[in-house]
Homo-oligomer: A and B are copies of this chain.
């Protein structure tokens, strides 16, 4: 398929690197294509970033048939533009699509479309360490129909925004709050897919956490409410003695691409790493006996985010000395060095764009 390109008349202005927040500085153009049962995915186009017009009966508004991905493009010191494990994101998009009855996309085609879009928008990619271009592919159901079934029409978008740190404090350790009353996802549900409703289901607990001064919710499993699952926008890692421990993927946990990258690097470095069930009781015990050395989250938005405090009922666990721990820092530096092209891509994770 040929991608039609319509350019904006006047290019916008990227905020200064030091002014960048997260999720608001959208670029000039976006990629869009449409799906219908008879035509499949069709009419791919790059056009000015502009409002979308949908029937108020569009199924996405009522039944939440929507999936998304999040990935980043980075600029190297040589001003080259590169992607980090982008194909893995589109693989996961297609897994989410199957889980939500949404038609899959052709990964080679959307990779090409993304690269074409990035070439057009390369001036929107900031260069300072910690800044990048956040890429949001997403698919929404558009049939104007009231009644529960899968839609026959969809729209696929890729929108871009220049971003700084996801957490206002940057790499400073975040405080997280364990939800005992709210449950995010359940085996047999859609927790392992990146679908809109999972995030809506997390908002109430998120607000409770925020009111108490915590940045994110740490979710427990739905069945026993004992085992750690994930943090709102990140997977979670514990350093107990010298072992790295992270919850295994049970079907209700998002299979994070940064999570896989951390595990891969740990194995390469010969660091003991275990994907297994880990209960809050085990975390409390390890903390009490001084064996819990570090806790950190992993995710595309923040890359690595050290956790300095966990609140679990009336227990408050302080982890570390207020600074990022050495293990978290080692992963952060290894991952960002590859992402920003200051270290060799020994893992074949980088996809060059231009």
Contacts and interface: CB of A to CB of B under 8 A. Distances in A.
Contacts of A147: 22-23, 166, 301
A64 B23 contact: no
Interface in A10-29: 22-24, 26
Contact of A56 (B23, B51, B134): B51
Given A57-B159, A186-B183, A200 B203 contact: no
A204 B66 contact: no
A343 interface: no
A113 to B, nearest CB: 15
Given A62-B136, A66-B62, A196-B200, A206 B149 contact: yes
Interface in A102-120: none
A23 B145 contact: yes
B200 A190 contact: yes
Interface in A93-107: 99-101
A67 B10 CA distance: 38
A30 interface: yes
A136 B144 CA distance: 13
A161 interface: yes
A349 interface: no
A341 interface: no
A333 to B, nearest CB: 25
- Give the bracket for the number of chain A residues in contact with chain B: 35 or more
A188 B198 contact: no
B100 A203 contact: yes
Count the copies.
2
Contacts of A314: none
Contacts of A140: 61
A181 B186 contact: no
Contact of A52 (B26, B54, B188): B54
Contacts of A188: 181-183, 222, 225
Q: Which 10 A-B pairs have the closest CB atoms?
A: A197-B197, A64-B196, A183-B188, A23-B146, A63-B199, A64-B200, A186-B186, A23-B147, A64-B197, A101-B203
Interface of A: 22-24, 26, 30, 49, 51-57, 60-66, 68, 70, 99-101, 134, 136, 138, 140, 144-150, 157, 159, 161, 166, 181-190, 195-204, 206-207, 222-223, 225, 232-233, 301
18 contacts: A23-B146, A24-B145, A51-B56, A52-B53, A60-B196, A63-B199, A63-B200, A65-B200, A70-B146, A101-B204, A148-B202, A150-B206, A150-B207, A184-B189, A187-B222, A188-B225, A197-B197, A223-B223
